[in-house]
Amino acid sequence: MSKIEIKKINIIESQTDCIVNAANNGLFQGGGVCGAIFRAAGAAELTRACNEIGHCDTGKAVVTPAFRLPAKYIIHAVGPRWRGGHEGEPDRLYEAYTNSLELAMKLDCHSITFPLISAGIFGYPLKPAWRQAIRACDSFIHRYPDYEIDIIFAVLEDRILEAGQQTMEILHA
């Protein structure tokens, strides 16, 4: 049975089939989670793989090998930059999660670890980011009831963990 969990762990240490990188459109090594993933995977190799792909639209996802990480794959999902919520940001964020999960299913991955996409340097407000993340994951699980997948959100800060747990309680009540 598929499930969603939020854990206080470092995403680069996750033992899931794939991890998700909160990527930028150019698939360049960035800061935060993205920078940590590049460094841990092997920046040169991952940069070459991303350069071969070249670009990823906001709301979409692409895949590379995970190189030196424990996962098999890195799914690079591009979430929206927060501009007040009136430029389609909720829809693009929802799509980034959905497209990541569908790509994981295509790759026959049965476990995936996400960061909270767009909630870092892209400025998406914390609670609305959690709502879109959990809604997208719930929708995927309901749409594909016969496909088992463990969905983990990796967070490093207690306040982000607590906000996610509160959101899950509200949405699953």
Q: Which of the four pLDDT bands, split at 50, 70 and 90, describes residue 32?
A: confident
The pLDDT, as a whole number, for residue 58 is 98
Q: Is the pLDDT of residue 92 over 90?
A: yes
Higher pLDDT pick, 20 / 173: 20
Query: Residue 168 and residue 131: Cα distance in Å, rounded?
Result: 8
Q: What is the pLDDT of residue 166?
A: 97
d(CA 56, CA 45): 18
- For the chain, counts of helices (H) and of strands (E): 5, 6
Q: What is the chain's mean pLDDT, rounded? A: 97
Contact 74, 41 (CB under 8 A): yes
CATH fold for domain 3-171 = Leucine Aminopeptidase, subunit E; domain 1 (3.40.220)
Task: Give the CA count within 13 Å in the CB-facing half-sphere of 169.
Answer: 6
Whether 143 shows a pLDDT value over 90: the answer reads yes
Q: Determine the 3-state secondary structure of 152 from DSSP.
A: strand
Supply angle C-alpha 32, 38, 42, rounded to 5: 150
Asked whether residue 31 carries a pLDDT value surpassing 90, the answer given is no
**Inter-residue contact 114 to 153 (CB < 8 Å):** yes
Whether the predicted pLDDT of 173 surpasses 90: no
Whether 3 shows a pLDDT value over 90: the answer reads yes
